[in-house]
Structure 1
């Protein structure tokens, strides 16, 4: 029997094969035009390197959900903020898979919608401010150990105010606060919080500023990601603590603050020390110093006893004896050498004196010789120097005389030897 041409023609005795049904379904689905749908992303697991991205889209007014596939470039084009929980509008084409008999959607475009778009804008702002260096660690100012006055920006009659003041005062009873109660959500929040931060920053006695708000929805915390408020916080000269929402919340104020507290209570624990712990620490420090000093004294006393018991301290002169013996030996040697040198020099002087006396003119005169000298002082060596009538001075061994030449005889030259 030939198979039925239409689904309505099938019978119990002439059914379609399952593959025939899936083929016909695929033909019908392929004829559908692309369309735009909206929904909420309820499951998305990024798969880096995968050729296809998968996420689940659910109708926000019912439990209807479908799997959506998209090429990686489609997801990349969405930008920041695409994650579970965001609302999107997508241009999709239904796709039926014959082998598994499953129907899903293939997305050609995906755009964030509503809150998701706001979150994407915040993410782009975060990236831009980070690129400017507003979140850099080297810009963070250290918090004071014990602030004179704590500036607190919080909501009016808010629980966050009590959380900070009560917990900080419990840790340090003398803590002082300068409180600014402002709108922490809604259209006035950005302006009032920014003004409060500026006012507290201008007070010289305020050493730290805490911006605190309890938990809330993402929409409630949007003012704390406003660019104007974030830039105002970055320009403060006073250290600033952000205590917005709960542990999982992360408005942009957290990134620019000098310290990010997970909750207002955590901020209170961070801005002041614990008096009980500090007193305990002081007590332990005093005891530790006392013990250290006692140990040092005991050690030095022991070392001093060791020194005193050494032989050198019992007989200090004993160490000088070898040096004294050495010095005496050196002195004796020096005296011997000096006396020997003096004796040698004395003998040399005597010999030189004897030679000098033997060669001196005085010795010659004492042997009976004399010297004649002209009035000019020139010694007479030749008779031609003293013509008749010349006065001469005679130098004798004992005394002198003056005489006048009455005559002179020139010296006779010795005959020259024949050559």
Structure 2
């Protein structure tokens, strides 16, 4: 088709209707609004509004399904039927075949399945929990306008810390508008760099009233936030899924204020206690160190430091005297030993022998060397002799040799 050959509206409606008919049957959950109950007519009409977004779907159902009167405006229901397109005005509607009121047990089962799914994805891991600042500069608060939760948080926080500063953002805290408004206010506070922590607070209520705080969209938005989030929804028995993903769960809005803002009275008391303990510890340290210094100064070496030096000088002097005495004794002994050795050497030496009338006879070789004459065999006739006496040397020659008279001796006389 083209601009020159466009589709007629009836054909477009027929094509769209044929595609919608292919969707088949479906189960749809929502909240009943704009109920038009026509007991005298076969059909009645109402809008089925989404639980989290501002989106609705027209529903046409047999009046007998609404005849019991338990289904009214605001009732959460599950509708089973087929989708249909009304060709007259091109509106989409759901032709209901069955309507079931969403029971508490079924809601709890669905919430448990969602909780298990999100837990499996790791959204509730403790490793992802961020610590709260000790004293936040600016606290973001998301709550209902003029609500008791707002009054509780602000009054308790200011009573604990008068200088506590809040940035309050208002949102619907139940119904279909709750989730988108809370998510938007959370986004704005998370984008504000001055906000150190965010509190999402709502007072108690029925389980149906608190269902938006178990919505998957809100839970994932909190998990993506970079600012620590405190969940303060309902009272102690109420545990929406927001409590699992928040960085800190508070049982009530009052409890949230106590956990986020420190108590100035308690902190001052704690500071006084720390100062007293610090002063006591400092005094004990001074006393301990003073005793240690006193023990050092009372020792003899510290009382009279010169005494130790004098003792060492005396020991050094005694050692020096002992060393001198030992060296003197050693040298005297050595002098005596040398004198004794000299006497012995003199007595045994040739000079002493010569003094007793003996002489030393040596053979003098032509090259001038001399050898002591020990045997007549070494002195052939004509050999030059060198005879040393006590007072000089006599040069002589061998005229002949004559053996000694003793037959067993090899000694000889030389003439």
Query: Structure 1 length as normaliser, TM-score?
Result: 0.53
Change in 2 beyond 3 A, CA 1:215/1:306: same
Contact 1:210–1:242 (Cα < 8 Å) also in 2: yes
Corresponding residue for residue 272 of structure 2: 283
Change in 2 beyond 3 A, CA 1:339/1:142: farther
In structure 1, the residue corresponding to 2:274 is in which secondary structure?
Answer: helix
In structure 2, the residue corresponding to 1:221 is in which secondary structure?
Answer: helix
Q: Does 1:204 align with 2:193?
A: yes
Change in 2 beyond 3 A, CA 1:218/1:337: same
Contact 1:153–1:182 (Cα < 8 Å) also in 2: yes
| Aligned partner (choices 297, 304, 313) of residue 286 of structure 2 | 297
Offset of 1:193 from its aligned partner?
1.1
* Cα distance in 1, alignment partners of residues 222 and 334 from structure 2: 100
Q: Does 1:273 align with 2:234?
A: no
Corresponding residue for residue 312 of structure 2: 324
Q: Does 1:171 align with 2:152?
A: no
Corresponding residue for residue 235 of structure 1: 224
Corresponding residue for residue 9 of structure 1: none
Change in 2 beyond 3 A, CA 1:180/1:113: closer
Change in 2 beyond 3 A, CA 1:348/1:239: farther
Q: What are the Cα deviations for residues 230-253 of structure 1, in whole angstroms up to 9, with x where unaligned?
A: 111112221110000111100001
| Aligned partner (choices 121, 128, 131) of residue 132 of structure 1 | 121
* Cα distance in 1, alignment partners of residues 250 and 295 from structure 2: 58
Offset of 1:154 from its aligned partner?
0.9
Change in 2 beyond 3 A, CA 1:225/1:315: closer
| 1:11-410 alignment runs, 5 A limit | 114-305=103-294, 308=297, 310=298, 312=300, 316=304, 320=308, 324=312, 327-328=315-316, 331-332=319-320, 335=323, 336-338=325-327
Change in 2 beyond 3 A, CA 1:224/1:344: farther
Corresponding residue for residue 46 of structure 2: none
Q: What are the Cα deviations for residues 133-162 of structure 1, in whole angstroms up to 9, with x where unaligned?
A: 222222211111100100111112222111
- May I ask how many residue pairs the two structures share in their alignment? 306
Contact 2:301–2:308 (Cα < 8 Å) also in 1: no
Offset of 1:320 from its aligned partner?
2.8
* Cα distance in 2, alignment partners of residues 206 and 242 from structure 1: 16
Contact 1:312–1:318 (Cα < 8 Å) also in 2: no
* Cα distance in 1, alignment partners of residues 178 and 316 from structure 2: 100
Contact 1:141–1:239 (Cα < 8 Å) also in 2: yes
* Cα distance in 1, alignment partners of residues 275 and 254 from structure 2: 31
Structure 2: segments with no counterpart, 5+ residues? 1-67, 70-76, 78-99, 343-415
Q: What are the Cα deviations for residues 26-55 of structure 1, in whole angstroms up to 9, with x where unaligned?
A: xxxxxxxxxxxxxxxxxxxxxxxxxxxxxx
Query: Structure 2 length as normaliser, TM-score?
Result: 0.53
Contact 1:159–1:214 (Cα < 8 Å) also in 2: yes
Offset of 1:299 from its aligned partner?
4.3
Contact 1:214–1:245 (Cα < 8 Å) also in 2: yes
* Cα distance in 2, alignment partners of residues 352 and 141 from structure 1: 102
* Cα distance in 2, alignment partners of residues 287 and 299 from structure 1: 18
In structure 2, the residue corresponding to 1:241 is in which secondary structure?
Answer: strand
In structure 1, the residue corresponding to 2:170 is in which secondary structure?
Answer: strand
Contact 1:167–1:269 (Cα < 8 Å) also in 2: yes
Q: What are the Cα deviations for residues 254-282 of structure 1, in whole angstroms up to 9, with x where unaligned?
A: 01111110000110111011111111222
Offset of 1:225 from its aligned partner?
0.7
* Cα distance in 2, alignment partners of residues 228 and 286 from structure 1: 49
* Cα distance in 1, alignment partners of residues 130 and 335 from structure 2: 91
Offset of 1:290 from its aligned partner?
2.3
Change in 2 beyond 3 A, CA 1:337/1:194: farther
In structure 2, the residue corresponding to 1:209 is in which secondary structure?
Answer: strand
* Cα distance in 1, alignment partners of residues 316 and 327 from structure 2: 15
In structure 2, the residue corresponding to 1:229 is in which secondary structure?
Answer: helix
* Cα distance in 1, alignment partners of residues 333 and 246 from structure 2: 98
* Cα distance in 2, alignment partners of residues 348 and 206 from structure 1: 106
In structure 2, the residue corresponding to 1:242 is in which secondary structure?
Answer: strand
